[in-house]
A and B are shown apart, each in its own frame.
Chain A
Amino acid sequence: MDRIPILRMGEFLLVTIQVDMHDQLALTLQDDLTAAIQRLGAKGVLIDISALEMVDSFIGRMIANLSRMSRILDAHTVVVGMRPAVAITLVELGLSLAGVETALDVERGMRRLRASVGESGASIVDLGE
């Protein structure tokens, strides 16, 4: 089955969404990510959506849910890389992603995560291995 890979960088998790997600793939990601946070005791999650050409209400809700679920599991989430056209469309659609922390790119997002835990992540490990 298709899965979106979750990478570990020290105490952070990195998720890069690079495909046009069908709904089940988005739901699988929720399960996988919350399981990974719990298993690894991750303190932060970076979700890179720079490859997403559109975010509809379903995917937007998935992103907001990921952010909330992580918070409850004591991990800080930053969503990075939203395209301007996607941001414009989301707001007109009526979805403001309230409570979702965002940053313009991966570098700024990582800086935000490091600041939130006070230290930096280390090597990258692919959890799919």
Chain B
Amino acid sequence: MSTSANDVLPLRNEHDIVLARQQVRRLSQELGFSLVDQTKMVTAASELARNAVIYGKGGVLRSETLTDGVRRGLRLHFIDEGPGIPDLTRAMTDGWTSGKGLGLGLSGARRLVNDFDIETAVGRGTRVTVTRWK
């Protein structure tokens, strides 16, 4: 499998969340994703970018386009150096929120992608990686 790295986008404020959505839209269009798949990936990116901004106190989005034989995909890394998530199981549960949200960010984003991976360490930060294949 080969990957090609794209730009790194800062996630500092709510305007960056809009920019993240636009970047993911453009990349999924370039990969020829269907409209529904584009919408799912953009929505997942919006949830995860907001998490990085609000809970992670800011971070970055790194995007990669993947080629695996004839398959092509888009992988997004949301990386922050915030407080981390003390109870990951609870954070992945629908409806649980530590803030003012609906608690659908992580669990909802996971349902919108093919692969979902999260690493977190208290006091060091959180990295969420999602992949969607065409």
- Do A57 and B36 have beta carbons less than 8 Å apart? no
B100-124: which have CB < 8 Å to A? 101-102, 104-105, 107-109, 111-112
The residue that A85 contacts in the complex, of B14, B39, B111, with Cβ under 8 A, is B39
- Do B14 and A23 have beta carbons less than 8 Å apart? yes
- Do B111 and A94 have beta carbons less than 8 Å apart? yes
- Do B102 and A61 have beta carbons less than 8 Å apart? yes
Measured CB to CB, the nearest residue on chain A to B109 is A93
The A/B interface has a contact count, at CB < 8 Å, of: 71
9-residue interface stretch from B15-23, B59-67, B83-91: B15-23
User: How many angstroms from the CA of A28 to the CA of B102 in the assembled complex?
Assistant: 19
Q: Cβ of B127 < 8 Å from any Cβ of A?
A: no
User: How many angstroms from the CA of A79 to the CA of B26 in the assembled complex?
Assistant: 27
Q: Cβ of A22 < 8 Å from any Cβ of B?
A: yes
Q: Cβ of A89 < 8 Å from any Cβ of B?
A: yes
List A contacts of B111 (CB < 8 A): 92-94
- Do A95 and B102 have beta carbons less than 8 Å apart? yes
Q: Cβ of B42 < 8 Å from any Cβ of A?
A: yes
Report the minimal beta-carbon distance from B52 to chain A, rounded to whole angstroms. 14
User: How many angstroms from the CA of A20 to the CA of B16 in the assembled complex?
Assistant: 12
List A contacts of B40 (CB < 8 A): 88-89, 92
- Do A58 and B50 have beta carbons less than 8 Å apart? yes
Q: Cβ of A4 < 8 Å from any Cβ of B?
A: no
9-residue interface stretch from A48-56, A105-113, A118-126: A48-56
A58-96: which have CB < 8 Å to B? 58, 60-61, 83-86, 88-89, 92-95
List A contacts of B101 (CB < 8 A): 57-58, 61
User: How many angstroms from the CA of A105 to the CA of B38 in the assembled complex?
Assistant: 23
- Do A94 and B18 have beta carbons less than 8 Å apart? no
List A contacts of B94 (CB < 8 A): 94
List A contacts of B17 (CB < 8 A): 22-23
Q: Cβ of B43 < 8 Å from any Cβ of A?
A: yes
Evaluate whether A92 and B112 lie within 8 angstroms (CB atoms) in the complex, with A22-B15, A53-B42, A56-B43 already known: yes
Measured CB to CB, the nearest residue on chain B to A93 is B108
Evaluate whether A22 and B14 lie within 8 angstroms (CB atoms) in the complex, with A54-B43, A88-B36, A88-B39 already known: yes
Q: Cβ of B47 < 8 Å from any Cβ of A?
A: yes
Question: Could you list which residues of chain A lie within 8 angstroms of chain B, going by C-beta atoms?
Answer: 20-24, 53-58, 60-61, 83-86, 88-89, 92-95
What 7 A-B pairs have minimum CB-CB distances, sorted nearest first? A93-B108, A85-B39, A56-B46, A57-B104, A23-B14, A22-B14, A85-B36
